[in-house]
Structure 1
Amino acid sequence: MNTTIAEPCRKAFLIVDDEPLVRLELGDIVRDCGLDAWEAANTAEALAMLEADASKVIGLITDINMPGTRSGIVLANHVGCIWPHINIIVVSAVRRPLPGELPFLAKYLAKPVPATKLVSTIHELVPH
């Protein structure tokens, strides 16, 4: 589990992906947007981090296909119900979510996610 919290007042995006290089790349893009990037390798790690301090998290980026019993779609819906203040971006190289499968206002981006597309989506969700 890799968390980076630079300042107590800074807000973070939680990046959930089982591929370390993908987490690193997405984290760099999030940090370039002036936000902190917290990283989790699976849904269980992500939920533990949110349960510890969801108040600093303003966004979630999760892959659909995740190891373990819960997919990124299950995580997105759980987060949308429990922490409605968290903006959700779901990514996948394998499949698109079905209509109604994601929480209301959640965004879907196909992998590989172009940096410009992720930045514009973050700015759309979190206006500066």
Structure 2
Amino acid sequence: MCESVSHPEPCALVVDDDGLIRMDAMDILQDAGFRTFEASDGDKAMTLLAREHAVIVLLFTDVQMPGTRNGFAVARETASRWPHIAIVVASGHVRPEPGEMPEVARFIGKPFTSDMVHDHLRDILPDGRKPAPLRNREQAGSAP
């Protein structure tokens, strides 16, 4: 779990109301080198982001969740309030309509694999915010 202290691993927030999918996404992000926070809905995610935004570099959110904010709303508010946070929105049922997601966000379909998530993260995270395992896999992939 992420803590509000200085540490070498960047932090990610995983938001999904399905506990098994949330745990799977957290495992995938931890394998990529992130420390993780978790929230079961958009309202809890925004509360956590308001408190911990300084250490979070990635938001990984589902779309359909209980509460007053769905994943698209969480993504838009996050992009507006904390532009340093990279955003991945995932869904197996809903595809984003034009304007639903911030331009900086990336959408992936469910079910997702660790390779799929890691590839997207290598694309959207600046080098200074990539955890070592993502940087190392990228360098290993470009080796002759």
> TM-score when scaled to structure 1?
0.92
The CA deviation at 1:8 is: 2.5
The number of residue pairs the alignment matches comes to 125
SS in 2 for 1:14: strand
Runs of 4+ that moved beyond 3 A: none
SS in 2 for 1:31: helix
SS in 1 for 2:54: helix
SS in 1 for 2:89: strand
> Does residue 36 in structure 1 map to residue 15 in structure 2?
no
Give me the whole-angstrom Cα distance separating, in 1, the residues matched to 2:15 and 2:96: 17
The superposition leaves residues 30-67 of structure 1 with CA deviations (integer Å, 9 ceiling, x where unpaired) of 01111111110011111111111201100101111010
Per mean C-alpha deviation after superposition, the further-off stretch among 12-21 and 96-105 is 96-105
Give me the whole-angstrom Cα distance separating, in 2, the residues matched to 1:53 and 1:118: 23
After superposition, residues 100-111 of structure 1 pair within 5 angstroms as 100-111=99-110
> Does residue 123 in structure 1 map to residue 84 in structure 2?
no
> Does residue 5 in structure 1 map to residue 9 in structure 2?
no
Gaps of 5+ in 1: none
> TM-score when scaled to structure 2?
0.82
Percent identity of equivalent pairs: 32
The superposition leaves residues 5-30 of structure 1 with CA deviations (integer Å, 9 ceiling, x where unpaired) of 27632211100000011111000110
Give the aligned CA root-mean-square deviation in angstroms: 1.3
Select the structure of larger CA radius of gyration: 2
Give me the whole-angstrom Cα distance separating, in 2, the residues matched to 1:47 and 1:100: 20
After superposition, residues 1-128 of structure 1 pair within 5 angstroms as 4-5=1-2, 8-9=6-7, 10-126=9-125, 127=127, 128=135
